[in-house]
Amino acid sequence: MLRLAKYLKPYLLIILVSIALLFVQANADLALPDYMSKIVNNGIQQGGVENAIPKAIRQSEMDKLFIFMSSAEQELVLSHYTLVDQNSPDYEKYVTDYPALAEMPVYILNPIEKTEITVLNPILGKALLVVSTFEKIQADPASAAALGEGLDFDPSMIPAGMDLFDVLKMLPADQLTQIISGINEKFAGLGDSMVNQMAVASVKSEYEALGMDNAKLQSSYILNTGLVMLLISLLSGAATIIVGWLSSRTAAGLARDLRKDVFKKVESFSNAELDNFSTASLITRTTNDVTQIQMVTLMMLRMVFYAPIIGIGGIIRAIGKSPNMWWILAVAVVTLLGLILVVFSIALPKFKIIQSLVDRLNLVTRENLSGMMVIRAFNKQSFEEGRFDIANQDLNKNMLFIGRVMATMMPVMMFIMNAVSILIIWVGAKQVALSTIQVGDMMAFLQYAMQILFSFLMMSFMFIMLPRASVSGARIADVLETKATIVDPLKPETFSKPVRGKVEFRNVSFRYPDAQENVLCNINFTALPGQTTAIIGSTGSGKSSVVNLIPRFYDVTEGDILIDGVNIRSVRQSDLRDQIGYIPQKGNLFSGTIDSNLRYADENASEEALINAVEIAQASEFINAKPEGFQTEISQGGANVSGGQKQRLAIARALVKRPPIYIFDDSFSALDFKTDSALRAALKKNTADSTVLIVTQRVATIKNADQIIVVEQGEVVGSGQHTELMENCETYREIALSQLSKEELV
């Protein structure tokens, strides 16, 4: 995968935007449990009151609170409140919200920051709880002893008929300080959160005393918080959609670029490089392997960056909600990681061999389809079905094995998640009973735990997909990083115009890559314009290898090949091949029409040029016999025309190009002798100025050639015209006599 990382460079900006949006999405998703906790804690349990800081409080009630505050705390509290009475300029503004203002002065809370709330909460919370306690003592003297326990205050000391708080105000400073110390000790074990929650009841009582509608306050808080959650959900959804679009665009673009470059690279390969990759393997790499890269890129952009944010963020927020339950998360994560590692170790070896099995299946399928007629001719359908079944079953077994592992993983994952949920509820319920956490916090912790586990689940899927994608990436990189052995020179020469087409072999030897011996040894001959040079030899003698060196399908190992005195390795391959009309032994046609196949040589060719080419190639008769003529459809590979028709169309295609050099690599083998003779006569007439090289095993085809080169075991064993070779070359004479009678050879 890393070897293909450079292909992501054009999409770097899109990837960065996607990551930024994933942060937005993850933070939005992480915020929702927190808001749910607020609805439960503040909205339902606390009636919409968020903290122990009243928005408004009567002056008389504030005076009671001041009794249990130090002078510094009193000063801090007063700095955040404004006293409003009937003479205040803001009276009309506040009297509607706080009807009690019409009868008594009220302290109104100033705009306050979150950090200031954190400071004021414990001060006012403790004071409100103590005032509430003393109010209960005053209202119910019978419970005075229990309520006053731990406050270092004896309620029996209150004189009859006197207000409790007036008595407290008259206490000596030392005694009052002692009472405040007792208050701090009593609430120290509860924690600020629980003090805040317990003080909310006093705040609600104060709101009732001010004439406020607590039911409306509660519903307003729940609706407002719910609206915020809705907006956050919409933001998360929008981010998800945009990330999905961007990641799909990136993955599809990456796949397109890889397919294009692989195809372009393969097109630049010489036969030497193509020998290293089978056709089936190259097809698999261009399709299946690229699809694997596309899928894993899509999943990485949508999951790999998102999952860690959710996992880490969820752990931080969950511990913030309940630090005492961190061990549950640790146990769950360790168990989950253990499961992922086990699955990973089992599935990884199988993933590594899947692509090679796909290659094998494609190879067998391709051979069956291309060799269908041979298979039927030898009644080997059953044998081929068995061969296909073996390849298919091997792939099927591996895929089923991986499927079973994945199928086992999912219920185990669900069991872990359900077990964690039960454990959180069980432990959390005990902590709620002990007033250590609130119900909403326990519910938020549960949701965060699920988010954390799902993040690890997403990462586990990626860990399973990555091995197969890495194998695919390596296979694609192998193609892209293969260095072409035949390349254009840095400072190319050009042919002099017009190109005559003189082809000269000078001491040419050739050896296939990784071979130990030469296939061709010290080949020397010259093919002149206006002449036909034939190359003949027995099967495997190397005659096709000779002409394959001219268009540089392979490069010579030793020696030089020159065209018009210019070394073919010193010019661009495109310039070289522009001078050559090449007709292979197996005429390859492309899906389209006869017209499009002929124009493959020259898309701007005139109708007259096409007609002339097919007449020379003896193809006009069968083309004119078809209702659509030149617009007759040609199926893939030319499967709907005969071998002879295919060869004639391939010859016509080369003739449309009108190059100075023609190479016929056993291109007449599928023609009958009559058509062969007529075609050669037409060729000689219409290619009089061109250099014609013919590779063949038919003596009759080249008997009248201007020059015949006889090749045997990679060496030239004879050169000359037919009559000379019949007298001087034993190899040629044996070939000729094996095909024709003595009378025909005269």
Mean pLDDT, rounded, of the chain: 84
Q: How far apart are the first and last CA of the chain?
A: 67
Of 657, 670, 658, nearest to 601 by C-alpha is: 657
Three-state DSSP class for residue 536: strand
Do residues 647 and 694 touch, judged by C-beta distance below 8 A? no
* CATH for 369: 1.20.1560.10
Q: Note whether 394 and 535 are same-domain residues.
A: no
Do residues 54 and 206 touch, judged by C-beta distance below 8 A? yes
Of 600, 729, 745, 616, nearest to 682 by C-alpha is: 616
Strands 106-109 and 81-84: antiparallel
- Does 155 have pLDDT greater than 70? no
Of 363, 353, 427, nearest to 394 by C-alpha is: 353
* CATH for 644: 3.40.50.300
**730 falls within a domain:** no
Please state, in angstroms and rounded to a whole number, the distance separating the CA atoms of residues 136 and 139.
5
Q: What is the predicted pLDDT for the residue at 255?
A: 92
Calculate mean pLDDT across residues 621-625: 87
Q: Note whether 542 and 683 are same-domain residues.
A: yes
Examine the fold and report which residue of 427, 447, 480 is the final residue of a domain before the chain moves on.
480
What range defines the domain where residue 474 resides? 259-480
Q: Note whether 636 and 674 are same-domain residues.
A: no
Length of the chain: 746
pLDDT band at 106 (very low <50, low <70, confident <90, very high): very high
Q: Note whether 46 and 189 are same-domain residues.
A: yes
pLDDT digits 0-9 by tens, 483-517: 878 888 888 999 988 889 999 999 999 988 777 88
**18 falls within a domain:** no
Sheet with 715-720: strands ordered across: 580-583, 661-665, 691-696, 532-537, 707-712, 715-720
Please state, in angstroms and rounded to a whole number, the distance separating the CA atoms of residues 27 and 12.
23
Examine the fold and report which residue of 445, 480, 515 is the final residue of a domain before the chain moves on.
480
Q: Note whether 547 and 668 are same-domain residues.
A: yes
Calculate mean pLDDT across residues 724-744: 83
Q: Note whether 409 and 273 are same-domain residues.
A: yes
Q: What is the predicted pLDDT for the residue at 462?
A: 75
- Does 147 have pLDDT greater than 90? no
Q: Note whether 679 and 548 are same-domain residues.
A: yes
- Segment among 8-22, 71-85, 672-686 with least mean pLDDT: 672-686
- Does 161 have pLDDT greater than 60? no
Angle between helices 439-480 and 326-370 (to 10 degrees): 30
Calculate mean pLDDT across residues 252-279: 85
**To the nearest whole percent, how much of the chain has pLDDT over 70?**
92
pLDDT band at 162 (very low <50, low <70, confident <90, very high): low
- Does 145 have pLDDT greater than 60? no
Q: Note whether 291 and 344 are same-domain residues.
A: yes
Please state, in angstroms and rounded to a whole number, the distance separating the CA atoms of residues 8 and 556.
39
How many C-beta atoms lie closer than 10 Å to residue 421's C-beta? 15
- Does 634 have pLDDT greater than 70? yes
- Does 237 have pLDDT greater than 90? yes
Please state, in angstroms and rounded to a whole number, the distance separating the CA atoms of residues 436 and 442.
10
**317 falls within a domain:** yes
Q: Note whether 333 and 427 are same-domain residues.
A: yes
DSSP class of residue 143 equals G
Do residues 593 and 633 touch, judged by C-beta distance below 8 A? yes
Residue 697 phi, psi (nearest 5): -110, -5
pLDDT digits 0-9 by tens, 603-612: 888 888 888 9
Q: Note whether 532 and 670 are same-domain residues.
A: yes
Q: Which residues contact 301 (CB under 8 A, 6 or more apart)?
A: 15, 18, 243, 246, 247, 250, 251
- Does 3 have pLDDT greater than 90? no
Examine the fold and report which residue of 222, 239, 268 is the final residue of a domain before the chain moves on.
222
pLDDT digits 0-9 by tens, 308-362: 888 888 888 888 888 888 888 888 888 888 887 787 777 777 776 776 787 788 7
How many C-beta atoms lie closer than 10 Å to residue 266's C-beta? 18
pLDDT digits 0-9 by tens, 413-444: 888 888 888 988 898 888 887 777 788 888 88
Please state, in angstroms and rounded to a whole number, the distance separating the CA atoms of residues 152 and 176.
9
- The structure tokens listed for 374 are 């041979």
Q: Note whether 472 and 550 are same-domain residues.
A: no
DSSP class of residue 500 equals -
Three-state DSSP class for residue 490: coil
pLDDT band at 589 (very low <50, low <70, confident <90, very high): confident
**Amino acid identity for residue 415 in this structure:** F
- The structure tokens listed for 110 are 């100033």
Do residues 419 and 357 touch, judged by C-beta distance below 8 A? no
Do residues 171 and 177 touch, judged by C-beta distance below 8 A? no
Question: What are residue 527's DSSP bridge partners?
Answer: 503
Domain count, the chain: 4
Do residues 589 and 633 touch, judged by C-beta distance below 8 A? no
**235 falls within a domain:** no
Residue with more model confidence, 82 or 372: 82
Buried b (16+ CB within 10 A) or exposed e, 183-205: beebbeebeebbbbbbbbebbbe
**363 falls within a domain:** yes
pLDDT digits 0-9 by tens, 359-408: 788 788 877 877 777 787 778 888 888 888 888 888 888 888 877 877 77
Q: Note whether 553 and 700 are same-domain residues.
A: yes
Question: What are residue 558's DSSP bridge partners?
Answer: 509
**Amino acid identity for residue 489 in this structure:** P
**538 falls within a domain:** yes
**740 falls within a domain:** no
**492 falls within a domain:** no
pLDDT digits 0-9 by tens, 9-26: 889 999 999 999 999 999
Instruction: Give whole-number Cα distances, 459 to 309, 452, 561, in Å.
Output: 11, 11, 59
Residue 104 phi, psi (nearest 5): -155, 155
Do residues 485 and 273 touch, judged by C-beta distance below 8 A? yes
How many C-beta atoms lie closer than 10 Å to residue 406's C-beta? 14
Residue with more model confidence, 410 or 421: 421
- Does 464 have pLDDT greater than 80? no
pLDDT digits 0-9 by tens, 546-574: 999 999 988 899 999 999 999 999 999 98
Three-state DSSP class for residue 514: coil
Three-state DSSP class for residue 437: coil
Q: What is the pTM of this model?
A: 0.73
- Does 151 have pLDDT greater than 60? no
